[in-house]
């Protein structure tokens, strides 16, 4: 079933040849950020060598070339998430920035005292704190959908939280800490029936699942391109046009204006209304090559390979005495969080690093989720398309060694 040639995929990622503490790197921290293929690195260099200029305002050759490449990526993202129009794709600094944008513009304009915002127990801090900030400012109430022991949203509890006071429902599509895939379509339907708008945090879903914002019917969707083989420092906010049009601008400055006088400023059209100042042009331009790369391999093929790794690793981990996987959702992506009795996650991380194996340890920016499970953190291995069964074997052997050293 595995039709990808992983050896050839690995050859596209120069960093995988790094030697860490005398061992070839095993990179299992993909949920934090993925590595970048040559195609993206080459595009970055080519941009600076042949096209670098500021966009939109220039009439000279390079400015036009840079602008065209920048706008190419917008159309590429539009296609990638099946947005109706390119202008519904707004470039941001990442998911954190996208959520803050909506909280600070939609929230400021449309929320009133006593209104309610619903999130879930498994949210990343970036889908908690911006809502808390606007709740504090506006006198709104934040409500939290509980989850079960496997790390799945309790849908009947969610329904009980929905009232005519619910104005926003914002949930993570795929949990970065547990790997859970949430039933966002159903969550959105129920939110809409209650008259609320919906935000889907797609930071983790866009790399593993096929995204169709029209089918999902979300009002907002966000991506972090650095988690999908693209450069750091750029992301996307998608929104429904009539809602984006009704929202006031976010940051003020150049580019987002139509006309400025000292008496009054009028604002630019979508998407520029939300893109003040010089954006991260080079990384936006190069991000197109990341999406091309993913589509060339095929999302289903990537998902099938990652799923093989997930199944293999989940089973192999069960052989380690005292190990417990946190997050056993029926629907999950290739993220495995676990704890081992009597061993601190940080010690596991340090001792794996000594063997050249990169994992993430700690709360994964989901402290309330850790509190739900009564733990302070986990060790997390998260797989991407270039990872292999041999690497999982090294990881399992590495964990066995950690256990021997510490018990």
Query: 202 or 398, CB closer to ligand PMP?
Result: 202
Interior CA angle at 362 toward 329 and 336, to 5°?
30
The C-alpha atoms of residue 245 and residue 249 are separated, in whole angstroms, by 9
Strand partners, 324: 339
Angle, helix 299-317 to helix 389-406, in steps of 10 degrees: 30
What is the rounded distance in angstroms from the CA atom of residue 113 to the CA atom of residue 248? 19
Query: Quick one: 128 or 188, whose CB is closer to ligand PMP?
Result: 128
- Which is nearest to 101 in space by CA: 217, 212, 265, 235? 235
Helix axes 299-317, 281-297, angle to 10 degrees: 80
CB of 91 to ligand PMP, least distance (A): 13
Give dist(CA 197, CA 26) in Å, integer.
41
Between 51 and 378, whose beta carbon lies closer to ligand PMP?
378
Contacts of 406 (CB under 8 A, 6+ apart): 342, 343, 347, 351
Closest-CA residue to 355 (of 401, 309, 317): 401
126 or 355, CB closer to ligand PMP?
126
**CB 137 to ligand PMP: min, Å:** 21
- Nearer CB in complex with ligand PMP: 40/340: 40
- Complex with ligand PMP: residue 188 or 402, whichever CB lies closer: 188
Residues in contact with ligand PMP by the rule CB under 6 A? 94-96, 124, 126-127, 172, 176, 201, 203-204, 224, 235, 365
CA distances from 232 to 92, 97, 287 (A): 11, 13, 9
Provide the minimum distance between the beta carbon of 60 and ligand PMP in the complex, in angstroms, as a whole number: 33
Least spacing, CB of residue 335 vs ligand PMP, in Å: 9
Q: How many CA atoms lie within 13 A of 257 on its CB side?
A: 12
Q: Are 305 and 4 in contact (CB under 8 A)?
A: yes
- Residue 147 or 172: the one with the smaller Cβ distance to ligand PMP is 172
- How far apart, in whole angstroms, are the C-alpha atoms of residue 162 and residue 92? 30
The strand pairing partners of 145, in sequence order, are 120
Give min distance, CB of 404 to ligand PMP, in A.
32
Selected catalytic residue, list 135, 140, 218, 365: 365
Measured CA distances, 281 to 72, 73, 130, 270 (Å): 12, 10, 26, 18
Closest contact distance (angstroms) between CB of 181 and ligand PMP is 12
> Residue 365 catalytic?
yes
CB of 230 vs ligand PMP, minimal distance in Å: 11
Nearer to ligand PMP, 30 or 69 (CB): 30
CB of 221 to ligand PMP, least distance (A): 12
Catalytic residue numbers?
365
């Amino acid at each position: 079933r595995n039709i990808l040639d992983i050896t050839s995929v690995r050859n596209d990622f120069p960093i995988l040849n790094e030697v860490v503490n005398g061992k070839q790197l095993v990179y299992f921290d993909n949920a934090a950020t993925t590595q970048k293929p040559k195609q993206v690195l080459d595009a970055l260099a080519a941009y600076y060598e042949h096209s670098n200029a500021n966009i939109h305002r220039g009439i000279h050759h390079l400015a036009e070339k840079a602008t065209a490449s920048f706008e190419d990526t917008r159309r590429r993202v539009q296609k990638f998430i099946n947005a109706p129009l390119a202008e519904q794709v707004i470039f941001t600094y990442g998911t954190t920035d996208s959520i803050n944008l909506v909280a600070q513009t939609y929230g400021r304009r449309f929320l009133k005292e006593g209104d309610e915002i619903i999130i879930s127990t498994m949210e990343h801090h970036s889908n908690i704190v911006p809502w808390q900030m606007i709740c504090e400012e506006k006198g709104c109430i934040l409500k939290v959908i509980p989850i079960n022991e496997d790390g799945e949203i309790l849908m009947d509890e969610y329904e009980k939280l929905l009232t005519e006071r619910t104005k926003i429902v914002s949930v993570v599509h795929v949990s970065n800490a547990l790997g859970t895939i949430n039933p966002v379509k159903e969550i959105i339907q129920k939110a809409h029936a209650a008259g609320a708008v919906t935000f889907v945090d797609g930071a983790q879903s866009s790399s593993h699942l096929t995204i169709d914002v029209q089918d999902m019917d979300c009002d907002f969707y966000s991506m972090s391109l650095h988690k999908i083989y693209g450069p750091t420092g750029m992301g996307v906010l998608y929104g429904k046009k009539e809602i984006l049009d009704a929202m006031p601008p976010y940051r003020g400055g150049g580019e987002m204006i139509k006309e400025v006088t000292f008496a009054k400023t009028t604002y630019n059209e979508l998407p520029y209304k939300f893109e003040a100042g010089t954006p991260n042009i080079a990384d936006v331009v190069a991000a197109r090559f990341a999406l091309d790369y993913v589509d060339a391999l095929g999302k289903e093929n990537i998902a099938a390979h990652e799923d093989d790794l997930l199944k293999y690793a989940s089973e192999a981990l069960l052989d380690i005495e005292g190990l417990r996987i946190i997050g056993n959702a029926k629907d999950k992506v290739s993220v495995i969080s676990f704890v081992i009795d009597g061993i601190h996650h940080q010690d596991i991380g340090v001792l794996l690093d000594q063997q050249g194996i990169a994992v993430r340890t700690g709360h994964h920016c989901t402290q309330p989720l850790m509190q739900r499970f009564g733990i302070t953190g986990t060790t997390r291995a998260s797989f991407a398309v270039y990872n292999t069964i041999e690497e999982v074997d090294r990881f399992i052997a590495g964990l066995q060694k950690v256990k021997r050293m510490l018990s």
